[in-house]
Structure 1
């Protein structure tokens, strides 16, 4: 289970890979728990995060309809929509990058000090228990889903039995990954606000590559890497459909390289 990942190195990559504007400052290249990172949501959700009292909850998509029904005018009179059809504005599905802390802080946490203690333990959520676990249940059931952009993630190779060898896992083609995640907004009694997120993981016991890493004998896991064409569908899917996106990413599309220096966990020749 990864507790270290690599953010995007170039501003242009945010637009090219995720159709979002890059942040004013790229931030830290190597991310560990409770460090500031970024996640992606639709603009309507970002507005609700910024102004929760006056904004609606994250949008719930309309039921799917056959193309011939969806494309046809509904309740038209002389070619015009029926009264009230335009009263409710459509959700803004423009993608937005949101700065946040890696390590989920559930809304029911009592204090900022408690949040600091919990966050490092809540950087990953198992997808098979996210809907029932105390820490992640509300975020899952409320549709608080996001996409976490990353260039690579790191796992420990413990197969030699003596010491862990940090290993960088990235796409073979060098493109960034969009990992499924959950977000939360916490506000303390004094008004302090913490926006946070976690990564969703899937079981990797039978994954041709990722089964090699982690503690021997323990359950193996990997981040739930989304296909590029599924980004918007993931953000708007109903809770009961969301688990359909929780799949292993094919081993032949990933490349794992040992990191030479454990002190900084940066591959030789890599500028972090």
Structure 2
């Protein structure tokens, strides 16, 4: 799965696509482990309770309802580190060691894996804006970095989970997040990428109309959002490596 993604290039892109933006552009255009960007989360009042019969009707009507009436929520942008730090981590040193290993969470195990369980069960879900993400094409033997983006060039809103860690020594708080992924073994595009013999994975790319529903969904309905983004809506481009360029005239 990806260990790198591209941030949006302008504040207008955040506003246009997500109706909220950072106060200023994140310093990192290309995101890697422990770099700081951020996510969208819900800032909202207590959600209304829906009777069981109405909830069942909502579930049958489609993912946008997710089993209850979506509350009117206000989105907020939160600056945070990519690479989740669980709340039970005991030291800053341990936090720095764990974060690069916790960039992504598997949909199948996010509710049971120790590192992500608390965030998931607490409903700490988020939307991570990105312009593209990167995978390695290993079909030729040599890894070829490949950029995956939407065909229409629009940003992606990717599902994630977040956590707030407090340093026991200094009391300083650190917000962090991880990308949620699903199995892509049968995905027409993403099944091409990954190590032989291992499961293929892809981020959970949310539909634009489901952001608020994802952020406010009842816990037992949240996994209904874990769906593969259509392959024909995505574009894959190999990334040119400067070291592989042939100097002009040298071998002509």
Q: Do they fold alike, i.e. is TM over 0.5? A: yes
Give yes or no for the alignment of 1:9 onto 2:9: yes
How many correspondences in the alignment? 226
Deviations 1:96-146 (A, max 9, x none): 111000000010001111000000000000011101111111111110000
Determine which of 101, 112, 129 is the counterpart of 1:132: 112
CA contact (8 A) 2:137 2:145 kept: yes
Counterparts of 1:1-272 in structure 2, within 5 Å, are 1-44=1-44, 59=46, 62-63=49-50, 93-161=73-141, 163-189=142-168, 190-261=170-241
Offset of residue 36 of structure 1: 0.4
Offset of residue 213 of structure 1: 0.5
Distance 1:23 1:66, change over 3 A: same
Secondary structure of 1:138 counterpart: helix
Secondary structure of 1:183 counterpart: strand
Structure 1 residue ranges (4+ consecutive) displaced by more than 6 angstroms after TM superposition: none
Offset of residue 214 of structure 1: 1.1
Distance in 2, matches of 1:205 and 1:36, equals: 31
Gaps of 5+ in 1: 45-57, 68-90, 264-272
Secondary structure of 2:39 counterpart: strand
Secondary structure of 1:135 counterpart: helix
CA contact (8 A) 2:10 2:25 kept: no
Offset of residue 258 of structure 1: 0.1
Q: TM-score, normalised by structure 2?
A: 0.85
Distance in 1, matches of 2:229 and 2:102, equals: 22
Measured on the aligned residues, the alpha-carbon RMSD in Å equals 1.8
Secondary structure of 2:15 counterpart: helix
Gaps of 5+ in 2: 56-70, 244-252
CA contact (8 A) 2:147 2:238 kept: yes
